[in-house]
Structure 1
Amino acid sequence: MIQDAQPGAQAAMRTRAVTAAAIGTALEWFDFTLYGALAATILPRLFFPSMDPTSALLASLATFGVGLAARPLGAIICGHLGDKLGRRNLMLGTVTVMGLASMAMGLLPTYASIGVWAPVMLVLLRILQGFALGGESTGAQLMAIEHASADKRGKYSGLLGLCSPLSQIMANGVLLLLSSVMSAQAFDSYGWRIPFVLSFILVIVGVYIRLRVSETPAFEALRETEVVHVGSPLRDALHLHWRTVLRWMLFFCGPAAIFYLIVVFSLSYITKTLAIPKQTGFLLLMGANVCAIVGALAGGMLSDRIGRKKALAIGSSATLLMLFFYFQILDTKSFLPMLAAMGFFLGFTQFQSGIQPVAFAEAFPTNVRYSGSALAYTGANLVAGGPMPVLAVWLFAVCNGSPWGVVAVCVVFNVISLVMILTARETRGIDMNRTDSAAVVTGEADFAAAGVGNGHRT
């Protein structure tokens, strides 16, 4: 009976772990999606009314980028502490900070009420959000992946990957509902605030579930060694595993740039350049995110069958192809072709994001897994993700309304990403709980996560 109960308890803990990780990731993306959509539509005239429309849009989108720019700091501090103190404790802190910052944003006075202090406070809250997000995103991923069995890591990874599009559907659905049932004046006055304030409910649920999740087996195994006591995760990640950090950062620049191009700049392009109602823009994004849910699940599960490298190459090749046709299809102003283009594009972008958690986790040994993964993930968003909406607006203006400058930049990111994938080693099936010196001290197996090609597979 005891032997039968133990596998059941492990299965229950795995379910709790992926649920806790998913709720935190969902909250993270819900808030960021809300802000991205509002930054492209409502916030310019509420917080930057003294500027001309283009400058106000650029300033508003820049505040979106500030949040992403703060992510590396959160990744560095939370990653170091997560590798020293454990994944679970950090997750309780980051989800709380994220929720409090979002609620405060929903209560923030506008420029008309407090003048220049409004955009200043908006930026400060975005920095807090970004800091928490930098620690939350990787920690939640590790909480789920390190609890998963080796043959289901890709599935768990895909489940985390679908949180982003699912949250986008929820966020855009809420905005669509509010903008439909409220007058434009009421929506601009207080309607946009409601989702931010209500998101705090997810914080309460997230904290409750995470209190019932145990520390991950990989960290528990590491805790029994001396490495966790004498090592410096941040120093070791940068000194011993910098090639791995750089490779994965360059890989994720492609999906990060394309993701923000679709969910932030495309909405501005559709509503302002193509003069399509914002309700239609929200509907298009919601439909595209349904495809993205399927893409994230498919990517994660396929990577369990054919390996991370082959699955990632499929997704990267698909987005590279779509870049050459995307804006041409949007310019038709025909709903179904636009929906198909956005669905295909976002679907294969999220196909790669569904593999990213497990690929990153398997690329690093336990003692630097949090630090190394967080640095790569947030570094890509800092370099390519955050600047993309602002860069796209600027390139669009410089190119006199032509999208080909934006396309060229995204093609470069995508090609670099594909090269990183094709020159990588396969990591599927490695033993993530290893704590021997070759894995955690010397960093000898930089990209292969200490074990590929050396018989250390589970």
Structure 2
Amino acid sequence: MAQVDTPMRSARQRTPRSLRRAVVSGMAGTAIEFYDFFLYGSAAATVFNTVFFPDRSPLVGALLALVTYAVGFVARPVGGLLFGHFGDRVGRKRVLMISLLMMGCSTLLIAAIPSYATIGVAAPILLTLCRLTQGLALGGEWGGAVLLITEHGDRERRGFWASCGQAGGPLGSLLSTAVLWIMASAMSNEAFTAWGWRLPFALSAVLIVVSYYLRRSVEESPLYQQAAERRTEQPKSPLGTVLRQHRKAVLLALFACIGEKATYYAFGIFGLTYLVETVGVPKADVLNALTIGSVFWFVTIIAAGRLSDIIGRRATTLIGVVLAAVWVPVGFLWMGNGHHSVIIVVMTVGLIADGIITGGTSAFFAELFPTEVRYSGASLGYQTATVLGGSVAPLLGVGLLAATGSVVPILIFVVAMLALTATAMFWAGETKGRDLTAIPVPATATAAEAPAPGPAPRTKTAERQSHE
């Protein structure tokens, strides 16, 4: 006899042990994948212009290096759609194992790519291909890891549990900037540029093995299991369902995320290039500031996630948006003096503001979509925002800095993206406490997909009126 879904059975599936495993493995896996992804961004802003584009001026070389960096962002929505499709069809856990291995192999290959001086133009081509693979892997990682945790957690602390998965991002950033800072501080600039930068990429092999072991022990999402048992046939295209029935939710996810992405990558990537190439701050000092800021970023995300369970997703997120909108222009103009202590303060407060937004929206994305298409829908909105906000911010900033010598254009861009995030939170309303098993299809979508009504039957009265 087939099993019937009951509240008692659901409670047995969502055990404290399974939740702990999901949180630990999700945070670890996300941290490792973001370590690899952010490591590339930090290296692109400080080293790759010399190693792979040596014939250009420092600022133009940095811009070309950031173009290869942006390729990974373009691949992230593709990865989100690909992994989201299979994650909604066959489960969250399986696709997360694949994304982890893809990220690890591509990062190891980056460590082994010869320089431009050794193999010429093949070097940046190989670098770009590896970056594409990184983008595909990370596009699948975020949606699966954060949603797996969210679907294991309870409604009352959903924001807190989801923020633990999101906190893997700053943990990965902390690891990457800390390792690069140690390398840059422990050796000469020449040695670091020649071979030292490769060691953090090679270290990824150890981290991937640890994360893979942790992820193997995780149980599949209980909400996904229940949804799979209820459905009578395998969905052919979760993405098609999202685009037909949940377009508004995708836009809300995109706008809610885009301000946070623009804020982080303005500080974390463009800020590196600006301070090193234009202001003349030593690489080690900037990486040190980012390392310190990442500690506060990590703590803030988790604290803001818990706060969102108390005062709501919207109120928490808007606090971060207001702080970021004020601090981005003030901070960038202030740290242009190049003082190390000022840079630490500016980076730290900027990442705290970003962390409040991240924590406030951690559970928000899952609360927009039903279980059957949650992986596809959340990934599409989130990863598209990383392209429009994350990759554009440093590229636009460096390009306009080279053309105008000013940081003002990029500051205007970031504030505009933050305005979109505020708009999304007002548009969506409060989602705290929403039942993840009972998210309805919008009435407009249902009506649009309903068969067109045929002509109304003619009554005798209507026939008589037509003759008259």
TM-score by length of 1: 0.91
1:185 aligns with 2:211: no
Report the Cα distance in structure 2 between the residues aligned to 1:164 and 1:356, rounded to whole angstroms: 14
Q: Which residue of 2 aligns with 1:105?
A: 110
Could you tell me how far 1:337 is from its partner in structure 2? 2.9
1:69 aligns with 2:74: yes
- Which of 425, 431, 449 is 2:429 aligned to? 425
Report the Cα distance in structure 1 between the residues aligned to 2:227 and 2:399, rounded to whole angstroms: 48
1:415 aligns with 2:419: yes
1:40 aligns with 2:69: no
Could you tell me how far 1:231 is from its partner in structure 2? 5.0
Report the AA paired with residue 103 of structure 1: L
Q: How many residues align?
A: 436
Question: Contact between 1:138 and 1:370, CA under 8 Å: does it hold in 2?
Answer: yes
SS in 1 for 2:81: helix
Question: Contact between 2:265 and 2:394, CA under 8 Å: does it hold in 1?
Answer: yes
Across the aligned residues of Structure 1 and Structure 2, the Cα RMSD in angstroms comes to 1.8
- C-alpha distance after superposition, 1:331-387 (max 9, x if no partner): 233333332222111111122112333110111100110000000111001111112
- Which of 161, 169, 182 is 1:164 aligned to? 169
Report the Cα distance in structure 2 between the residues aligned to 1:36 and 1:67, rounded to whole angstroms: 10
Instruction: Pick which of 171-180 and 297-306 moved more.
Output: 171-180
Could you tell me how far 1:68 is from its partner in structure 2? 0.7
Report the AA paired with residue 361 of structure 1: A
Report the Cα distance in structure 1 between the residues aligned to 2:319 and 2:42, rounded to whole angstroms: 29
- Which of 135, 159, 167 is 1:130 aligned to? 135
Report the Cα distance in structure 2 between the residues aligned to 1:57 and 1:93, rounded to whole angstroms: 32
Could you tell me how far 1:52 is from its partner in structure 2? 2.6
Instruction: Pick which of 309-318 and 225-234 moved more.
Output: 225-234
Q: From the CA coordinates, give the structure whose radius of gyration is larger.
A: 2
Q: Which residue of 2 aligns with 1:13?
A: 18
Question: Contact between 1:157 and 1:355, CA under 8 Å: does it hold in 2?
Answer: no
Report the Cα distance in structure 2 between the residues aligned to 1:8 and 1:417, rounded to whole angstroms: 35
Q: Which residue of 2 aligns with 1:262?
A: 267
Instruction: Pick which of 113-122 and 423-432 moved more.
Output: 423-432
Report the Cα distance in structure 2 between the residues aligned to 1:9 and 1:114, rounded to whole angstroms: 53
Could you tell me how far 1:261 is from its partner in structure 2? 0.7
Q: Which residue of 1 aligns with 2:450?
A: none
- C-alpha distance after superposition, 1:13-61 (max 9, x if no partner): 1010011111111012111221111101111111111223232111100
- List structure 1 runs of 4+ shifted beyond 4 angstroms: 6-9
Report the Cα distance in structure 1 between the residues aligned to 2:309 and 2:282, rounded to whole angstroms: 42
Instruction: Pick which of 272-281 and 366-375 moved more.
Output: 272-281
Report the Cα distance in structure 1 between the residues aligned to 2:360 and 2:136, rounded to whole angstroms: 24
Q: Which residue of 1 aligns with 2:448?
A: none
SS in 2 for 1:431: coil
Question: 1:136-175 maps to which residues of 2 (within 5 A)?
Answer: 136-175=141-180
| Percent identity of paired positions between Structure 1 and Structure 2 | 33
Report the AA paired with residue 364 of structure 1: F
Report the Cα distance in structure 1 between the residues aligned to 2:164 and 2:422, rounded to whole angstroms: 23
TM-score by length of 2: 0.90
- Which of 218, 234, 238 is 1:213 aligned to? 218
Report the Cα distance in structure 1 between the residues aligned to 2:204 and 2:443, rounded to whole angstroms: 44
Report the AA paired with residue 67 of structure 2: A
Question: Contact between 2:29 and 2:215, CA under 8 Å: does it hold in 1?
Answer: no
- C-alpha distance after superposition, 1:231-272 (max 9, x if no partner): 521001111001110121022111111111111111111112
Could you tell me how far 1:324 is from its partner in structure 2? 2.8
Report the Cα distance in structure 1 between the residues aligned to 2:180 and 2:256, rounded to whole angstroms: 32
Q: Which residue of 2 aligns with 1:225?
A: 230
Q: Which residue of 2 aligns with 1:243?
A: 248
- Which of 65, 89, 95 is 1:84 aligned to? 89
Report the Cα distance in structure 1 between the residues aligned to 2:62 and 2:34, rounded to whole angstroms: 21
Report the Cα distance in structure 1 between the residues aligned to 2:86 and 2:432, rounded to whole angstroms: 27
SS in 2 for 1:433: coil
Question: 1:268-287 maps to which residues of 2 (within 5 A)?
Answer: 268-287=273-292
Question: 1:294-443 maps to which residues of 2 (within 5 A)?
Answer: 294-399=299-404, 401-434=405-438, 439=440, 442-443=441-442
Report the Cα distance in structure 2 between the residues aligned to 1:128 and 1:230, rounded to whole angstroms: 27
Question: Contact between 1:228 and 1:367, CA under 8 Å: does it hold in 2?
Answer: no
Report the Cα distance in structure 2 between the residues aligned to 1:8 and 1:74, rounded to whole angstroms: 29
Gaps of 5+ in 1: 447-458
1:115 aligns with 2:99: no
SS in 2 for 1:325: helix
**Cα gap change, 1:9 to 1:433, in 2 (>3 Å):** closer
Q: Which residue of 2 aligns with 1:52?
A: 57
Report the Cα distance in structure 1 between the residues aligned to 2:14 and 2:244, rounded to whole angstroms: 39
SS in 2 for 1:386: helix
